[in-house]
Structure 1
Amino acid sequence: MLKRKASGDLSSPHVSIFSNDPTLGRHKRKRTLFRPKHTKPQWTPKAERDMTRRSLQEGTTHDLLNIRAADELARALQHPQYGKPTCLPAVFHEAVQKKEMIPLKDFLSSKESIYKTSWIPSPWRVLQWSLRQVGVLGEPQAPAKMEVGNFVILKNVEVAADEILSKMKDYTSTADRVLSRTDFLRRFSTVLNPSASLTTNDLNIILAFLARDKQAISYNAQTIKFKPEHEHVPLPITEEDAAIANLRDTVAKINAQIPPLMEKIAAADAAAREAVALKQMVRAKAALRSKKLAESALAQRSDVALQLEQVYTDLQQAADQVEIVEAMRAGAAALKGLNEKVGGAEGVQGVVDAVNEQMATTEEITNILSETGQPLDEGEIDDEFEALERADREKREKEEAEKTAARLAELEEAEMRRKERMDRIAAKSEDERTEERVNEASQGMANMSFQQPHDETEDSEESRVPIHV
């Protein structure tokens, strides 16, 4: 991206790669020291002076989107030791071939997009290719001398356009998308460089690029209109759009007049106070009159600005309402088209009736096909069904009888085992009682054999005499 050169250097508006070279400063001092004492008299013709003036005016512009190829550029790039660069013609030729640079006249006059490519070559290109094949024409070569002209730097234009479109996404109102050229520069003059504004030439270039190559705007000599995001192509500019742009410019001009009036009021008030302090009554009254006039003008400008702001707000609201109504109208037209495609309510009802009729026909056909077989005897079917039920019932009864018999057998067997167990228990108890009686009888007989008389026992106890030592 190009950067602007300092405005003090009127020799060229372009980039100087040796501006900070100390050697260049020493050479400038030498030229100052050895400046010739006599100058040529100003006797050149007026036509030559006018041409020189126009060249200087073009050379002193500070365009950011195009560069001028001329001797001024070569002088700006001149090195004090190596002199002027000789490769500039080749550099410009190569940049044009690669479409990194485009001649300004071709860029502004082209009706088709610069990105458009055709698979079918033009007749002139076919002729050139044929002449090169037979050796009449050689390959295109870079010119030995630089051609004077302006060249658009495509990369800078693309960056500026993308930045402008990105900032426009913040403006959603219809009125905010309509700008005058002055308002456009006020909003987007510093998109490439905060310290360098776009020029009038840059404005023409970026507008042509946005309208032709980006399909983002429509514009004329005074008004610029950005297309909404939901539209494919921008709409043409109307009288209402021009009125909105002019009204916004008028509001901006009125608002720009208010700060100077406020400063004038403050200055007059300070002058009046100072004059009163110095006892200069005439000066104080004059300052107060100036203050009153400024206050009256400020009030008038403020009222006008307020009224214009109200009008602009109403216009903005009306423009938004127009867009809303247009969207609703488009939606209604789309719904109407869809309803016409289905035939309306009557058409839908007819389709539903036809579907029901065809479904009934299908069911009738199915019933007819089902009745084409031999008729069946329902009595035989009932008899066979009863026989099956009877056999099934007898089978179940037989199974239940077998289960009952098995259960009874189990119960009888269990009863027999219980009786046997009770008999064994009873027999065992009788044996135990017999054995106990035998044991008791034996014990009684034993006690009778070993028992002594009571008298004998007492006599033996009396005969026992203790021995005292």
Structure 2
Amino acid sequence: MFHMLILCNRARLPALYSDFRPQRTLNPDGFQANVSAWKRGLSNAALAGHAPSKSPARNHLTLELGDALLRALESPQFGRPLALGTVLQEALASGEMLPLPHFMKTTQSIYHISWGRIPWAVAGWALRQIGLTGGPSDSMPKEQVVVVLQNLEVITKAFSDATADRIAPFERIFSRKHFRRTFEANLLDGQRLSDNDLDVLIKFLSRDKEVLATDGNTIKIRERGETASISDEDSAIASLKELIEELTHQTKALSRRVEELSQAAMDAVRRKDRVSALATLKSKKLAENNLKTRYATLNQLEDVATKIQQAADNVQLVRVMESSTGALRSLNAQVGGADRVDAVLDDLREQMGQVDEVGNVIAEVGAGAGVIIDESEVDDELESMLEEEREKEAAKEAEETRRRLAELEKLGPTPVADGRPVSPATATADALGGMHLDTDESPKEQEPEKEKEKEMIPAE
């Protein structure tokens, strides 16, 4: 049912269909929650094309108030919404819904009108004009149409996205008919906007958003800072684009007609119907001639359109060059010409030369106060340090050798080739080729120790 489509929270339906007007003072938060739920539901229903309408085409940007809306919202369980008049009163007073005649006729932007500060007396008068008094049993006998501002904002966002890449002037200009054919089916997820929706959208985009410029027949997508006027060139481009589109449509239709007649002639030949075949071929020839004429005209118009685009590009190029010339003139004036630059460079060189002179004087003073270093003393000190390092390395190696011999002594005597046992230290010393562990003892001083060692070895 319709009330379930726009109010998805089933648990809240009893509260939403009740007379919740006393909550305005008793429970302001609850009152605003119910009003917001109804306004959001009505807007979504209209945008989706579910709101009741007398016109064959569904309107997405407007909502028709009256008995049809009440009947569509009637529930077998809860009846009619008792506070709907109050909901619409709130929406009209805040400017979220606007009477369609007033919206289309006013010249001032709706954003410049403080709808939220409209006196309740004035709002009440407006509601009485459309048959609403706000009572719990109020009906809506007068059929009125209101514009839903929230839906306008949604379609405006879609329009901005769809036209973001239209940069060239030729791409931003349309006749009213061409504009309608271009955008009526491309802004609402495949749903087609009605003629009434497009009129409302064009008014909103031109007056309130300042996105479009129009004189009633020609529509131009404005660039930032561009005036809202329509020139004769704009009107000519719009007419040319509309004619090109119509001829393109005609050529497609004629092409299909030629194919159909060709197939019909072939079928007549198969049936051996000579009369039908000749008649069909004559019709085909006429269609081909018309198609050829249309293509020739279309090629001429496309050539004119190309020239117009080139001319528009040239105008833009000349404007850029003109502004660039002015910028260069201003910058050159700030520079002051070649003579001033030469004078500045000469002065700069002079100042840099003075800096070099001062630096040379400081360097000479520092060199005169310096100390002369004797290179031989430095060499002697270095040699002394190297000799000390070599002595430390030799002592370290001797200590390592003594440590290893002591470890071998702990292992006991080791037999040799002639069968006599020798100590590991002696064997290691012999293997080392007479290496002296103590650098202070000479080989001659170590020989008596070897003799004593031999005497201690028992004979076999």
Alignment TM-score > 0.5, same fold: yes
Residues 1:68 and 2:64 aligned together: yes
Aligned to 1:431: none
* Residue 289 (structure 2) aligned to one of 270, 287, 296: 296
- Give distance in 2, aligned partners of 1:101 and 1:241: 34
* Residue 222 (structure 2) aligned to one of 218, 224, 227: 227
Partner-residue secondary structure (3-state), 2:174:
strand
Shift, 1:274, TM fit: 1.8
After the TM superposition, which residues 278-293 of structure 1 pair with which residues of structure 2 at under 5 Å, given as runs?
278-293=271-286
Aligned to 1:190: 185
What is the TM-score normalised by the length of structure 1? 0.54
Q: Identity across aligned pairs (percent)?
A: 32
- Give distance in 1, aligned partners of 2:121 and 2:278: 86
Whether the 8 Å contact between 2:98 and 2:146 is mirrored in structure 1 is yes
* Residue 254 (structure 1) aligned to one of 247, 251, 254: 247
The amino acid of 2:134's aligned partner reads: A
Partner-residue secondary structure (3-state), 2:109:
coil
Residues 1:171 and 2:166 aligned together: yes
Aligned to 2:92: 96
Aligned to 1:267: 260
Residues 1:161 and 2:151 aligned together: no
The amino acid of 2:88's aligned partner reads: F
Shift, 1:75, TM fit: 2.5
* Residue 232 (structure 2) aligned to one of 208, 227, 239: 239
Whether the 8 Å contact between 2:244 and 2:302 is mirrored in structure 1 is yes
Partner-residue secondary structure (3-state), 1:276:
helix
Whether the 8 Å contact between 2:66 and 2:144 is mirrored in structure 1 is yes
Aligned to 2:322: 329
Q: C-alpha offsets along residues 300-350 of structure 1, whole Å, 9 cap, x if unaligned?
A: 11111111111111112211221222233334345556667x49649x949
Aligned to 1:385: none
Shift, 1:97, TM fit: 2.5
Gaps of at least 5 residues in structure 2 are: 7-51, 123-131, 355-367, 375-460
Residues 1:217 and 2:212 aligned together: yes
- Give distance in 2, aligned partners of 1:265 and 1:259: 10
Worse overlay, 245-254 or 161-170:
161-170
Aligned to 1:404: none
Shift, 1:79, TM fit: 3.3
Shift, 1:83, TM fit: 4.4
The amino acid of 1:223's aligned partner reads: T
The amino acid of 2:267's aligned partner reads: E
- Give distance in 1, aligned partners of 2:249 and 2:120: 59
Whether the 8 Å contact between 2:85 and 2:133 is mirrored in structure 1 is no
Q: Aligned in 2, Cα 1:270/1:83: closer, same or farther, shift over 3 Å? A: same
Shift, 1:81, TM fit: 5.3
Shift, 1:17, TM fit: 3.8
Aligned to 1:405: none
Q: C-alpha offsets along residues 380-410 of structure 1, whole Å, 9 cap, x if unaligned?
A: xxxxxxxxx9xx9xxx9xxx9xxxxxxxxxx
- Give distance in 2, aligned partners of 1:314 and 1:158: 37
After the TM superposition, which residues 18-37 of structure 1 pair with which residues of structure 2 at under 5 Å, given as runs?
none
- Give distance in 1, aligned partners of 2:68 and 2:268: 57
- Give distance in 1, aligned partners of 2:187 and 2:265: 47
Whether the 8 Å contact between 2:155 and 2:188 is mirrored in structure 1 is no
Shift, 1:298, TM fit: 1.1
After the TM superposition, which residues 392-403 of structure 1 pair with which residues of structure 2 at under 5 Å, given as runs?
none
- Give distance in 2, aligned partners of 1:349 and 1:126: 73
Aligned to 2:453: none
The amino acid of 2:308's aligned partner reads: L
- Give distance in 1, aligned partners of 2:120 and 2:54: 38
- Give distance in 2, aligned partners of 1:299 and 1:127: 68
Partner-residue secondary structure (3-state), 1:194:
coil
Shift, 1:149, TM fit: 1.9
- Give distance in 1, aligned partners of 2:165 and 2:246: 24
Whether the 8 Å contact between 2:3 and 2:73 is mirrored in structure 1 is yes
Shift, 1:202, TM fit: 1.4
Partner-residue secondary structure (3-state), 2:147:
strand
Aligned to 1:31: none
Whether the 8 Å contact between 1:226 and 1:234 is mirrored in structure 2 is no
Shift, 1:192, TM fit: 4.1
* Residue 105 (structure 1) aligned to one of 84, 101, 104: 101
- Give distance in 2, aligned partners of 1:96 and 1:126: 11
Partner-residue secondary structure (3-state), 1:142:
coil
Q: Aligned in 2, Cα 1:239/1:18: closer, same or farther, shift over 3 Å? A: same
After the TM superposition, which residues 356-435 of structure 1 pair with which residues of structure 2 at under 5 Å, given as runs?
none
Q: C-alpha offsets along residues 179-215 of structure 1, whole Å, 9 cap, x if unaligned?
A: 1222222332234433421222212221222222222
Whether the 8 Å contact between 2:67 and 2:139 is mirrored in structure 1 is no
- Give distance in 1, aligned partners of 2:337 and 2:107: 50
> Which of structures 1 and 2 has the bigger CA Rg?
1
Shift, 1:90, TM fit: 1.8
- Give distance in 2, aligned partners of 1:145 and 1:335: 72
Partner-residue secondary structure (3-state), 2:112:
coil
- Give distance in 1, aligned partners of 2:304 and 2:183: 25
Aligned to 2:305: 312
